[in-house]
Amino acid sequence: STGMGGVGGPVAGPNLVRALPEPSAAALSLDTPVRVRFDQPMDRASVEAALSIDPPAAGAFTWDADNEVRFTPAAPGLLPGITYTVTLTGTARSVAGTPMQEPATWSFHTAPPVEVQAVEPPGVTVPPTGSLTLRFGAPMYTGEDPGAVVLRAAGAAANLPARIEWAHDGTELTITPLAPAPLGDLYLRVAPTARTACGAPIAARWFVQRRGTVQGILGAGAVDGTDVRGHTLRLELAKG
């Protein structure tokens, strides 16, 4: 048989005949597995040791056949907007102990994160029963997901009961407290579990506004009063 590594045969070393994602594939879902198929049954331990992904990604190997292995990224998946390079070294061996004729390397690119913006302008004040709105850069999954978007008062241990309404196209969300929110800071959080209608992640950033003064878009470091696991919008509630 003819593969990526050359011509196989009864006494030849194994060849890689299929690699997925295909080289230079782009905009891939973060849960996309890496699959490789050989023209011979393979020594599983040697293949798993020979296969690497850069940047490194946690995950698990599954063998679909003696000559086909799949690496599935662990949740929450690969990083968005990143070029990953897969390398299969020549130390991968067939069950007969013959090493691969040639190593293989290919790359693919994951989908970029979807942007999310707060509609309320910087420094805005809202009444205790006022609504807050988020606008997304792509249609979002609008099914039941209680933890995807929540409201929480500063210092509170539980989320505020709230009504969530989606625009028809799934790109805008409005959340309204079911009862007057306490005076003080109010957090609007979009959790990392939020996904687009196609399963892509939202942008890994959050917004903070404090006492009407814009603090800017923050980086990955922890900030006092900020939940770094998702997006947090902090607003000063109007008195009265």
pLDDT digit string, tens, across residues 106-127:
999 998 878 888 887 756 777 8
Spell out where the chain has E strands.
2-3, 6-7, 16-20, 34-38, 51-54, 59-65, 68-73, 83-88, 104-109, 116-118, 125-126, 132-136, 149-153, 162-166, 172-177, 185-190, 207-210, 213-217, 231-237
User: Which of 105, 71, 73 is CA-nearest to residue 86?
Assistant: 105
Give 50-60 pLDDT, tens digit per residue.
999 999 999 99
If you count them, how many residues does the chain have? 240
**Per-residue pLDDT band at 132 (split at 50, 70, 90):** confident
Token digits of residue 71? 């690496």
User: Which of 189, 34, 54, 198 is CA-nearest to residue 112?
Assistant: 198
Give 150-183 pLDDT, tens digit per residue.
888 778 888 889 999 999 999 999 989 898 888 7
Question: What does the mean pLDDT of the chain come to?
Answer: 79
How much is the pTM? 0.60
pLDDT at 123: 60
Residue type, position 147, single letter? G
